[in-house]
Amino acid sequence: MKTIAPLLTVILLSLLAYYGTNSLGLQLLFGVILPYLALALFVGGFFFRILDWMQSPVPFRITTTTGQARSLKWIKQERFESPSGFWSATGRVLLEVLLFRSLFRNTKAEISQGPNLVYGSSKWLWLGGLVFHWSMLIIVLRHYRFFLAPIPGFLVILDAADGFLQITLPALYLTDLLFIAALTYLVARRWFDAKISYISLANDFFPLFLLLGIGLSGIWMRYFGKIDVAHVKLLMQSLISFQPAVPGPIGGIFYVHLFLVSVLAAYFPFSKLMHMGGIFLSPTRNLANNNREVRHINPWNQPVKIRTYAEYEDEFREKMEKAELPLERST
């Protein structure tokens, strides 16, 4: 159920866009109205969520240290595992965002005879996740050529580098392959790894299928199906110049692609995909471990009444006096 329902949803959404534009002539809806709506939801929702998180303060500095702290001068600090200032903490977050530092640590525990616990290295999730995210970033950047004319230099280089294999016409993008392969791995582990399958929810599968749908429809358009790229550019440029106009025929598969992207954008702020913003805010990672050196301020520091020494001495004064413990007030 938790895999079938999301899969069917994505198929249904694709059919909707295909027949909506091919048979019902709803190009304006799928090509203009829904993309605008999705964009508004994405931008508005994303910033709302970030602001909403930021409204809650960080009362305590609860860094998780994963290496030696700054201590005595002759002890070597691990700066990005136990940062002691703003810049090293920033470096730590960047290592997390760009290279998935924590996932790189991953191990897999297994029980063997003895019983013995063995921890194997387990970098597949790190690799799969990294390949997926980086491919996606490069693919998104590559798409700028549909929006911009002329195309900025670095995008031309990126494009050429990604297509260096030149084994098909048009040139095969390496990231297209990697994107689909990594997504397939991410789906497969949710099916085949007992632990992951047990914890997975329908809304873990839905974005994966959605992204697969986007990837496959894109690949189909580029390498197999026939769409009118000139019309696509016209549509996209009309959209970003806020003078939307539906151009001549493009092909249903394009609208499938665009509609799935719109769904992803609209779904994004209300889902776990917000980890994209959340990763920057995580207090166990983005704070320096300099707690004893620089006082952290809690804006709501709750007043609490402690049991004072005076109250303590009042209760135990006689016993303390007998034991010859110093007193503030003698009996």
Partner 1 sequence: MTSNPPAVEELKQEIEQSSNLLTGKVPDMDWHQMPVKKHDGRWCYPAKPDVVKSLGFPNPRKWKVEEEDWELPENWEQIIFEGMRDRLKRFRSFKLFMDVCVRCGACADKCHFFLGTGDPKNMPVLRAELLRSVYRGEFTLAGKLFGEMVGARKLTPQVLKEWFLYFYQCSECRRCSVYCPFGIDTAEITMFGRELLHLLGLNINWILEPASNCNRTGNHLGIEPHTFKQVVESLVEDIEDLTGIEVEPTFNRKGAEILFITPSGDLFADPGVYTMMGYMLLFHHIGLDYTISTYASEGGNFGLFTSHEMMKKLNGKMYHEAERLGVKWILGGECGHMWRVVHQYMDTMNGPADFLEKPVSPITGTPFRNAASTKMVHIAEFTADLIHQGKLKLDPRRNDHIIATYHDSCNPARAMGLLEEPRYVLRNVCNNFHEMPENTIREQTFCCGGGSGLNTDEFMDARMRGGFPRANAVRHVQENHDVNALVCICAIDRATLPPLMKYWVPEVSVYGLHELVGNALVMEGEEERAEDLREDEMLEIEEEDE
- CB contact at 8 A, 219 and 254: no
Under the binding rule (CB under 8 A), the answer on residue 228 touching partner 1 is no
- CB contact at 8 A, 138 and 175: yes
Site string for partner 1, 161-200 (x = CB under 8 A): ----------------------------x---xxxxxxxx
Tokens representing residue 103 in the block:
């996932």
Amino acid, res. 206? F
- Shortest Å, Cβ 230 to partner 1: 39
Region near partner 1 per CB under 8 A, out of 59-67, 165-173, 213-221, 246-254: 59-67
Distances (CA, A) of 12 to 2, 126, 209, 221, 254: 16, 32, 12, 19, 16
Host H or E run for residue 121: strand 116-121
**Whole-angstrom Cα distance, residue 19 to residue 259?**
12
Under the binding rule (CB under 8 A), the answer on residue 225 touching partner 1 is no
Region near partner 1 per CB under 8 A, out of 15-23, 61-69, 134-142, 171-179: 61-69
Q: Mapping DSSP to helix (H, G, I), strand (E, B) and coil, where does residue 108 land?
A: strand
Site for partner 1 in 26-45 (CB under 8 A): none
Tokens representing residue 206 in the block:
């839905």
Site string for partner 1, 250-289 (x = CB under 8 A): --------------------xxx-xx--xx-xxxxx---x
- CB contact at 8 A, 54 and 282: no
Among 48, 60, 87, 147, binds partner 1 (CB under 8 A): 60
Site for partner 1 in 288-327 (CB under 8 A): 289-298, 300-302, 304-309, 312-313, 315-316, 319-320, 322-323, 325-326
